[in-house]
Amino acid sequence: MTELEIEQMLIDNGCEHAAYFTNPSYDTAIVGVTNDDRVVYDYDKMVKFLVDTEGWTEMESIEWIEINAMRTLPFMGSQSPIIMYKLI
């Protein structure tokens, strides 16, 4: 999905104010939106997205996410995305 397709999907579902990652988009890692318009990402799918699209190792992908995605969340405001970790 392109950034425009993600934005349109959110608008179509009444979530036009939701913040989402744009570079990289992690589009295949989006698993839902909360009732307060926060985009929810699956952490494992974010890693897989980078492995598949960038050709990075799993460790390189994890480091990238920790530095370039996780650290941006506080600056994205109250509508910042949620990154979900599976328990099992």
| Range of the structural domain that residue 63 is part of | 3-84
pLDDT at 52 over 90: yes
Query: Does the reported pTM lie above 0.75?
Result: yes
Average pLDDT over residues 5-20: 85
At residue 60, the pLDDT reads 98
pLDDT at 2 over 80: no
Determine how many CB atoms are found less than 10 A away from the CB of residue 60. Answer: 14
DSSP element (H, E) containing 32 = strand 30-33
pLDDT at 53 over 90: yes
At residue 15, the pLDDT reads 82
Tally of domains in the chain: 1
At residue 40, the pLDDT reads 95
69: confidence class by pLDDT, cuts 50, 70, 90: very high
| CA torsion through residues 49, 43, 73, 4, sign | positive
